[in-house]
Amino acid sequence: MSVGDARDKFETYLAAYDGTNDWSAIGPLFDAVFHPDVVIVTADGELDKAQWEEMARNLVGKGATAAGFEVTGEEADSFYYTVTINVDDEPMHMTAKGTVRDGQLALVEPVDPSVYSTMVDRAK
């Protein structure tokens, strides 16, 4: 699988954040996007797939939306992107690098890790 395939799966996953609070609609997309050994970097440390899934489930439970997903660059095994996640009508603008392994995101490195920490905190 190419970086483009992983990017497309990620875009489909983010599009599912449309205000639904039904994880069963998003869970399979989550599993398709994130590698079993994924590492998500935040200002508070690294999260694994189970920790990131818990955060994502909580966002869905709060009716979060995603908008403005845009790929801003690609290189060998990575792509750079921006996206806005909105929780309780408070948008969080994120820019990150996603590194792909086996057709899934294996490493997510935000330009500003504190934004990812804020997202985790707001999902609680």
Q: What is the pLDDT of residue 38?
A: 98
Q: Measure Cα distances from 68 to 19, 38, 51, 55, 85 in Å.
A: 15, 23, 25, 20, 9
Span 80-103, average pLDDT: 95
Within 10 angstroms of residue 65's Cβ, the number of other Cβ atoms is: 16
Q: Give the pLDDT confidence of 37-83 residue by residue, as tens digits.
A: 999 999 999 999 999 999 999 999 999 999 999 999 999 999 999 99
Rounded distance between C-alpha atoms, residue 83 and residue 49, angstroms = 20
* Pairing mode of beta strands 104-110, 65-75: unpaired
pTM > 0.75: yes or no: yes
Cβ–Cβ < 8 Å for 14, 83? yes
Spatial CA neighbour of 6 closest among 74, 65, 90: 74
Residue found by looking up tokens 């970086």 in the block: 3
Q: What is the pLDDT of residue 101?
A: 95
Spatial CA neighbour of 96 closest among 105, 104, 87, 88: 105
Q: Give the pLDDT confidence of 6-30 residue by residue, as tens digits.
A: 999 999 999 999 999 999 989 999 9
Q: What is the pLDDT of residue 1?
A: 52
Q: What is the pLDDT of residue 28?
A: 97
Residue 100 in this model has a pLDDT that exceeds 90:
yes
Q: What is the pLDDT of residue 2?
A: 81
